[in-house]
Amino acid sequence: MLLELVPVPVADVDRAKEFYVNAGFTVDVDVRPADGVRICQLTPPGSACSIVLSTGLPALADQVPGSLRGLHLVVADAAAARDELARRGVPVGGIDEHDRGVRYVPFDDPDGNTWVLQEMPWRAGDFATG
């Protein structure tokens, strides 16, 4: 089983799309397949899993904007990823270091959905270089 799409509840798809594009996500799909329906799918750099921002989908209608908590983006270097997000204008928290060299960096989207960059040194080989 592969996790490929995570719904992110937002109040304004355009505002959220701009935030995630500024954070380096790639827009894969942005369609309006029916009146009142919009589906915007974006993928974080290097990820096989995407997020979806949407309106008008009955299956997601009960999601409250800003209710997503603690979605992790695993990175090779938390400091470098933090610096890149900050350079792109994303408000990011400080680096929180834990045992075994695990490091976390929190950030929120404009609706208050919370994200965490997570560095696990033993996973460094999972990332392409160059």
Q: Are 8 and 51 in contact (CB under 8 A)?
A: yes
Which of residues 121 and 38 earns the better pLDDT score? 38
pLDDT bucket at 130, cuts 50 / 70 / 90:
very low
Give the chain's mean pLDDT: 94
pLDDT score recorded for residue 127: 78
Share of the chain above pLDDT 70, in %: 98
Residue whose structure tokens are 């976390």: 104
pTM above 0.85, yes or no: yes
Tens of pLDDT, residue by residue over 60-117, are 889 999 999 999 999 999 999 999 999 999 999 999 999 999 999 999 999 999 999 9
Q: Which long-range contacts does 15-19 make (Cβ < 8 Å, 24+ apart)?
A: 15/110, 16/40, 16/53, 16/109, 16/110, 16/111, 17/42, 17/53, 19/90, 19/109, 19/110
Paired sense of beta strands 114-119 and 71-75, if any = parallel
| Structural domains of the chain ordered from first start | 5-56+66-126 (3.10.180.10)
